[in-house]
Amino acid sequence: MLVVAIVGVFAAIALPAYEGYRERLRIAQAVTDIGAIGTLISKYGMDNRAYPESLTDVGADTMRDPWGRPYQYVNHEDRRSRGRWRRDKNIVPINTDFDVFSMGKDGDSRPPLTARMSRDDIVRANNGRFIGLASDYDP
């Protein structure tokens, strides 16, 4: 009985640590995917002198983030999308070209990165010089 209790204590300690490790792996995968999608969009922009209208144009429309949701894309050349541009704490757009992001673990997002539901998003900022958690981004 003592052995079962000890195993139970170890399991109670190990399971949360393992889940934290798995979440860090998901974030790392999303960062890698967003970097690859950003590269595809940039190449498309150089070849066509305009960014694609959607991820379909670069063949990334079927890609899913580690939580099973499609990646989000906002083309800044399309002025109708202006209200969807990702913004920092000063309400300044975090990119001048395009936004690519994952809505993160909770699957909910708002344009300002300071919004509670956006803090777990994985974002591309500074025109690709930063890719990571929205909560880690500090202009």
Identify the CATH homologous superfamily for domain 2-136. Answer: Glycoprotein, Type 4 Pilin (3.30.700.10)
Q: At residue 104, what is the residue type?
A: G
110 SS3 class: coil
Domain borders along the chain are 2-136
What pLDDT does 45 receive? 96
Residue 7 confidence class, pLDDT cut points 50, 70, 90: confident
Query: Given a cut of 90, is residue 14 above it in pLDDT?
Result: no
Rounded CA-CA distance 99/55 in Å is 11
Q: Which residues pair with 128 in a beta bridge?
A: none
Rounded CA-CA distance 97/74 in Å is 9
With residue 133 as reference, give the H or E element that holds it: strand 130-133
- The pair phi, psi for residue 8, each rounded to 5°, is -60, -40
Average pLDDT value for residue range 43-69: 96
Query: Given a cut of 80, is residue 17 above it in pLDDT?
Result: no
DSSP string, 79-101: GGGGGGS-B-TTS-BS-SSEEEE
